[in-house]
Structure 1
Amino acid sequence: MQVKTFTGATSQEVLARIKAEMGPEAVILGNRTYRKNGVVCHEITAGLERQAPGEAGAASGAPSGWGEWHKEWMQIKDQLFALMKPAIQLERLTPRQRVALEYLQREGVSDAVAVDLYKRLLADPGASVLECLCGMVPVKAWGPAQWGQRVHLLVGPFGFGKTSTGLRFALHLRKNEPEARIAFINADCLRGNGRLTLRHWAELSNFTYMEAPDRAGMEQALAAAKNARAVFVDVPGLARGQNLAQWRADMGLDMPETATHLVLSPFCDALQTQEFLRRYQSDGSGSLVWTKLDEAVSFGSIVNVACAAGLPVSALSFGAELKESLAPATEPLIWRLIFKRQIPGQAA
């Protein structure tokens, strides 16, 4: 088999080169997206079977099972090209749609999401790119009107801002309901820095603060907070092999009136993000919270994760301060962030 790796600014450009150089019989063997000097690059490895003269008559010497394997290989190839081929027919889009689609891919939107968007545009020729994207990235803004659950779990990897997000949520709720009683339960109480920060700000803001390292402690804390308007639980980061559903069951937190908010930053590659979505998957109401936006250089992962998780974006967080550093998500805020790199509250 002849194998060659191609790189380019967009996957459509790379696929077009593969087709031109290797022909329609080429098979996609692998692909990845990476950054080089701040520029998004798409790399696709393709293979092509080259049949030597007289080789056709040597089929009788093929290994056992070759015919079935080759049949399955051809089916996989056809499925791959059925998926990828539409993405290179950009001439079917309007110039504005084509520019938007190519920009999104440069921002890190995955090929699968780009193909989905392309198909939506073809299915509804009168629709704008933003109209189609709104159907792919749901939004449910953080606030008492939208989130009436009493218990809110803040989940996600270490270092992504779970504790800060919980405090920002609580401060936003207090701003809307000044008399609301708010409680914090720290289930991540074995980590010193986060524990001290949460306890310090809870005391300053007149929030009830409790610690619950195990199920018994959680039951006691929930009982003590039974009259609270909202209870925020700071969940520890989970190691490889653990999952949120099991952790909730172990801690007695698998109640239906609980909302789960997955806190992520747009820094991780696709493989790591996929693992986080699997690890922190949970039934019931939930949302995505994007943090550290002021430190990011591209935001295509916001679209990728929303499509993969099926969860609405509830809030956008930025900056080191706790006050005035969280914006309940809206569609205009998200699209200005992605297309203009405009952080909420800042000029483009």
Structure 2
Amino acid sequence: MQVKTYTGPSTQAVLAQIKSELGPDAVILSTRSGRKEGRRFCEVTAGVERNGNGSTPHGAGAAADGGDPTQLPAGWESWHREWSCIKEHLLALMKPGLRLEQLTPRQRLALEFLEREGVEDTVLMSLYRRLLTSPGASVLEPLTGMVPVKPWSREAWPQRVHVFAGPFGSGKTTTLVRMALRGQGAESAGGRVQVVNADCERGNGRLLLRHWAELSGFGYAEAADDGAMRAALDCDADRVFVDLPGLARGETLTQRLAHLGLGGDDVAVHLVLPPHCGGQQTADFVNRYRAPGTASIVWTKLDEACTYGTLVNVAAANGLPVSALSFGPGLRGSLVSASESALWRLVFKRQLPGRTSDGPAARQP
């Protein structure tokens, strides 16, 4: 398998370069974006299976039998496990050599705290290198560059269609209702909202969506395929919120979106995740639910977690901005637009948004 990493100013530019050099059968293995010296960059690792004469063999990449072109090649999981093991051993050898005495006491305490909170060694190494070049700087300065924030608002997210994807039990349906209610009350200025249930085989989310649609004056529709989805989107609503079911084993979000005919510049996909899954499980979720239209992460069930290092790990590895923070059992006053201050109070103080360290949640607008 030929593997190569490409870097460019935007995802579109990098994908065009990959298609030009590796061809349409190239498989995206990983993506990362961020800022370096004030400039935005996108880094994509791609691979393609080739035979001896350099051509793509039958069944690799975009399968000739109509298989999923994003499916990883045979042996990839084994190779990835071996590389992860090698990386862990390398990091274990490198950590004792870190000269933490070159950092200020405040910087050392911050790194030690992040390590206890579950921030991965690769992220800590990157923070250490950046702090060495900025004596006396706050650890929040490099962290802010590694963990982007794009607050949930009409101005920041002008797309008409917002799709909520994530594993079963992650809180997608509740998050959708919370965002729809928040938009209706604070930002839509009377605009009509339509909710679409694409999870037609499960009863709980279906009943919840229909119930709150009736109470709140939302339009409601169900769509199990692209034809029904087109009919559901063909309405006079200003904003449409789509609730996707969890993916089946072996299924990718790209496949599900294609099945429903969801795509384009007017569609934003929000990945809904809780922070209390293990690191390997969370990484698997992000890989499976990452698609060209995935635009942000909504962190849910924050009140059920004891540490929040996962928020840093996922953002640093994938570059997806955090758009909203969700917590608590209620539908109102339990979701806030993400902000840097709220995010870092959560990570460093374990303080839920809208709460003081010793008081109840403040009323949200």
TM-score with structure 1 length normalisation? 0.75
By how many angstroms is 1:332 displaced? 0.4
Please tell me whether the aligned partners of residues 319 and 325 of structure 1 are also in contact (alpha carbons under 8 angstroms).
Answer: yes
Alignment of 1:202 with 2:213, yes or no, is yes
Which residue does the alignment assign to 1:287?
Answer: 296
Matched, 1:240 2:249: yes
Change (3 A) 1:152 1:263: same
Q: What amino acid does structure 1 have at the position aligned with 2:165?
A: V
* Unpaired stretches in structure 1, ≥5 consecutive residues: 1-72
Question: Which protein shows a greater Rg?
Answer: 1
**For residues 62-81 of structure 1, what are the structure 2 equivalents within 5 Å?**
80=90
1:210 match: secondary structure: strand
Q: Which has the higher helix share?
A: 1
Match of 1:104 among 80, 93, 114: 114
The whole-number CA distance in structure 2 between the counterparts of 1:210 and 1:252 is: 16
- Separation in structure 1 between the aligned mates of residue 106 and residue 240 of structure 2, nearest angstrom: 46
1:309 to partner: Cα distance = 1.9
Q: Which residue of 1 aligns with 2:159?
A: 149
Counterpart of 1:325 (choices 322, 329, 334) is 334
Residue 262 of structure 1 corresponds to which residue in structure 2? 271
Following the alignment from structure 2 to structure 1, what is the Cα–Cα distance between the partners of residues 93 and 132? 15
Structure 2 matches for 1:41-120, cutoff 5 A?
Answer: 80=90, 84-85=94-95, 88-120=98-130
Amino acid of the residue matched to residue 176 of structure 2?
G
Aligned pair 1:213/2:210, yes or no? no
- 1:154–1:235: 8 Å Cα contact kept in structure 2? yes
How far apart in 2 are the matches of 1:221 and 1:284? Answer: 19
- Kindly indicate whether the alpha-carbon contact (under 8 Å) linking 2:166 and 2:272 is maintained by their aligned counterparts in 1: yes
Number of residue-to-residue matches in the alignment: 272
Residue 263 of structure 1: SS of its match in structure 2?
Answer: strand
Q: Distance in 2 between matches of 1:118 and 1:109?
A: 13
Q: Distance in 2 between matches of 1:326 and 1:83?
A: 42
Name the SS of the counterpart of 1:286 in structure 2.
strand
Match of 1:312 in 2: 321
Q: CA RMSD in A?
A: 2.0
Q: How far apart, CA to CA, are the structure 2 residues paired with 1:160 and 1:191?
A: 15
In the alignment, the residues of structure 2 paired with residue 100 and residue 231 of structure 1 have an alpha-carbon distance, to the nearest angstrom, of 42
What displacement does 1:89 show?
Answer: 1.8
Contact 1:87 1:115 in 2 (8 A): no
Say if 2:251 is the partner of 1:251.
no
Q: Which residue number in structure 2 is paired with residue 177 of structure 1?
A: 188
| SS of residue in 1 equivalent to 2:124 | helix
Residue 295 of structure 1 deviates from its aligned partner by 1.0
Q: Deviations over 1:100-140 (max 9, x none)?
A: 00000100101111111111111222421011110010000
Deviation of 1:154 after TM superposition, in Å, equals 0.2
The answer to whether 1:133 aligns with 2:143 is: yes
Counterpart-to-counterpart distance in 1, 2:251 and 2:318: 18
Runs of 5+ unmatched residues, structure 2 = 1-82, 358-365
Q: 2:280 matched to which residue of 1? A: 271
Separation in 1 of the partners of 2:266 and 2:328?
Answer: 31
Distance (Å, rounded) in 2 between the aligned partners of 1:328 and 1:108: 24
Going from structure 1 to structure 2, the CA distance change for 1:149 and 1:198 (only over 3 Å counts) comes to same
Distance 1:84 1:164 in 2: 43
1:33 paired residue number: none
CA contact (8 A) 1:262 1:287 kept: yes
CA distance in 2 between counterparts of 1:346 and 1:128 reads 24
